[in-house]
Amino acid sequence: MPKKVKAGQSSASDSEANSEKVKSHSKKAGKTKKAKAKKGKIAGKVTGTAQVLSSEVVFDGRLFRVVRDSVIEPGGKEGVRDVVRHNGSAVILAVDNSKSKKDPWIVMERQYRHAAHRFLWEVPAGKLDAGEDPLAGAKRELEEETGYRAKKWTELVEYYASPGFLGESMKVFLAEGLVAGDARPEEDELIELRLVKLSELLATIEKGGIMDGKTLSSVLLYARLLEKKRRK
């Protein structure tokens, strides 16, 4: 004989049935929320640039300016974007491989960065003047900050450090065949220079000792390309 169930109570079988319904509903709900990522090459269906409805300069400083744009972005999304506009920067991965091709020396700088509230180890870099050729800017910055000149220059990569709000493009150049000279840093720059072996620099990166984005990007890419070249 089945047990009687009081009002407000349910039997074990009813509870199990209800539980299964909840689980089933949760799984269905979860499926609708999951975005399906397609496998394949990096490409996108939506292309083009935003239509700027209005633009206002809200800050104009010595190094950059901030604009507030009302836009319709590709795909039809409308919004207001605050963007830091910058002339762009040249980054120099200066390499001395005269003594060792497998483990070359990398030119590194240590300087205080107020925005980060700390000293950082970085590869040389600098802001481009308006309309300045990036390679010319890279050569200028390397000599001013370190005193080095390079016989061979190769464009390594270009990237945006924080494209959500920062319009600064950073172009990285590989500088080889280094010739030492006298540095001419700007008045507000206090730079400590050091040559560091690539292996030591990679070990420091693994330990979290390098926190500068351009240094991480350029050194890790260079190490990958160097390893790929060795395997050929």
Tracing tokens 């633009």 back to the chain, one arrives at 55
- Residue with the bigger pLDDT between 157 and 232: it is 157
Among residues 187, 200, 206, 227, which one is catalytic? 187
* pLDDT band of 38, cuts 50, 70, 90: confident
Full set of structural domains in the chain with CATH: 51-85 (no CATH), 89-231 (3.90.79.10)
Q: Is 187 a catalytic residue?
A: yes
Q: Please name which of 67, 94, 63, 97 lies closest in space to residue 80, comparing C-alpha atoms.
A: 67
What residue type is assigned to position 168 of the chain?
E
Scored b (16 or more CB within 10 A) or e, 148-157 reads bebeebeebb
Q: What is the pLDDT of residues 99-114, one digit of tens each?
A: 999 999 999 999 999 9
Q: Please name which of 216, 83, 64 lies closest in space to residue 128, comparing C-alpha atoms.
A: 64
State mean pLDDT over 120-142: 97
State mean pLDDT over 174-186: 93
Question: pTM to 2 decimals?
Answer: 0.81
β-strands 125-127, 192-197 pairing: unpaired
Q: What is the pLDDT of residues 8-32, one digit of tens each?
A: 344 444 545 555 554 544 444 455 5
E-assigned strand segments in 97-168:
105-113, 118-122, 125-127, 149-160
**Of the candidate ranges 38-47, 101-110, 117-126, 171-180, the one whose mean pLDDT is the lowest:** 38-47
Which segments of the chain does DSSP mark as H helices, in order?
A: 12-33, 134-146, 198-206, 213-231
